Amino acid sequence: MTGNIRPETMERITTPALAQAFIDEQVHELRSQIGDSRVLLALSGGVDSAVVAALLIKAVGQQLVCVHVNHGLLRKGEPEQVIEVFRQKMNANLIYVDAVDRFLDKLSGVADPEQKRKIIGAEFIRVFEEEARKLDGIAFLGQGTIYPDILESDGVKAHHNVGGLPEDLQFRLVEPLKLLFKDEVRVVGKALGLPDSMVYRQPFPGPGLGVRCLGAITRDRLECVRESDAILREEFSKNGLEGKVWQYFTVVPDFRSVGVKDGKRTFAYPVILRAVNTTDAMTATVEDVPFSLLQHITERITSEVEGVNRVLFDLTPKPCATIEWE
Ligand code: XMP
């Protein structure tokens, strides 16, 4: 696919047949573009990188090298799902990098949200660069750039783009989704056999749970965020809200409050629930979650998540709040 402007004549990919036609065309183009070279791809497990990976596996198989960096800020079960889907099911050449301690050490004591974002982005590039240096014959870098990225920014994925890769690692870009809108990427992902939980997953910020563990990240509060988020997602799924609510997650602030459990005083963290709907993320409304479900989630979180004694629900739309807390 050449050029960065979507031709007016390009048909919207809305059906499996149209997705298949797109896949066939891309496989052909990718093979002639890549030849015998190898392609490197940072595979986060998000929709865009997952679809690019699946497309490249179909086109060039083992010539694709995927790198999945676990920075410790992913949701419960995410690294495992990436390994299961790509290594086990799709037989991808996948390098898994456990960089949890490295990221958490770098973030230790850092409370400012923008500073946290910078550290996560820069460290991600560093880890990826180290892995790239270990490999031979890489000529291309796969990217999950989609059309809104081109329309809204300077054409590259902004999430991890802090500084970018050094000069000697400037590979040629492979961006097979760059003229597609998000809904089209999902249709293509489905046609490539990716699981629904990956194709239809809710938006998740690049800095991950790092901006939901408010202030300076500590391992105990990070686990509170991860475990409470898993409970919220499980309950939304069981109660038909998955796929209906645009984005939902939990936040853990860096203060504690007094509570009581089994007749004893506790001093533990609160968990804040957030569930919002939007079309463009510029404004958002709060989902009217049934009160009985909120009570059930509260009961589960306070009994199952260590170090939590209180649950709150964020009633604030955007504006005046943002969707994330940091
Ligand atoms: P806000 O909080 O600005 O969020 O209302 C709007 C949307 O953007 C996501 N978001 C981010 N995504 N890196 C990302 O990749 C970030 O640093 C970041 N901050 C917010 C947020 O989850 C929501 O979908």
pLDDT at site 250: 99
Q: Separation of 193 CA from ligand 1 center, angstroms?
A: 28
Kindly tell me if the per-residue pLDDT of 156 is higher than 60: no
42-65: per-residue pLDDT in tens?
999 999 999 999 999 999 999 999
Residues with CB under 6 A from ligand 1: 117, 159, 203, 205-207, 247, 281, 318, 322-324
pLDDT at site 164: 84
pTM: 0.95
Peptide bond into 320 cis (omega under 30): yes
Mean pLDDT of 72-82: 98
pLDDT at site 161: 44
pLDDT band for position 224 (cuts 50, 70, 90): very high
pLDDT at site 157: 58
Quick check: 138 and 65 in contact, CB under 8 A?
A: yes
Q: Separation of 93 CA from ligand 1 center, angstroms?
A: 30
pLDDT band for position 155 (cuts 50, 70, 90): low
Mean pLDDT of 202-219: 98
Mean pLDDT of 144-165: 73
Kindly tell me if the per-residue pLDDT of 16 is higher than 80: yes
Quick check: 145 and 52 in contact, CB under 8 A?
A: no
Kindly tell me if the per-residue pLDDT of 154 is higher than 80: no
Q: Separation of 202 CA from ligand 1 center, angstroms?
A: 12
158-195: per-residue pLDDT in tens?
444 446 899 888 899 999 999 999 999 999 999 999 99
Quick check: 308 and 228 in contact, CB under 8 A?
A: yes
Query: How many other CB atoms are there within 10 angstroms of residue 58's CB atom?
Result: 18
Share of residues in the chain with pLDDT > 70 (%)? 96
